[in-house]
């Protein structure tokens, strides 16, 4: 078993597992949040407020207007 830990195959497997762990960590940092699926980033035409609202409850949090413009994420 000790010979396996010093072999080239073990080093290769360990390297690829390390790469996968780093890629997974980067994806979690940069990737979309699961909470974003139910929210939209919007700008209110009435009061110029910018923020997020629920996908199915599209009202301005500041003035209550439904006249909103969806912004790109």
Tokens of 54: 């629920």
pLDDT at 31: 72
pLDDT, tens digit (0-9, with 9 covering 90-100), for 6-49: 889 899 999 999 999 999 999 888 876 655 678 889 999 999 99
Count CB atoms within 10 A of the CB of residue 67: 12
Measured CA to CA, the distance from residue 20 to residue 27 in angstroms comes to: 10
Query: In sequence order, which ranges of 1-73 are alpha helices (DSSP H)?
Result: 2-5, 8-30
Which residue in 61, 63, 44 sits closest to 53, CA to CA?
61
Tokens of 3: 């010979």
pLDDT, tens digit (0-9, with 9 covering 90-100), for 36-46: 678 889 999 99
pTM, 2 dp? 0.49
């Amino acid at each position: 078993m000790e010979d396996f830990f010093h072999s080239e195959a073990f080093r290769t497997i360990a390297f690829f597992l390390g790469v996968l762990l780093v890629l997974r960590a980067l994806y979690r940092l940069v990737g979309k949040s699961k909470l974003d699926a139910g929210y939209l980033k919007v700008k209110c035409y009435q009061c110029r407020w910018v923020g997020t609202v629920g996908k199915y409850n599209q009202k301005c949090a500041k003035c209550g207007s439904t006249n909103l413009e969806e912004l790109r994420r």
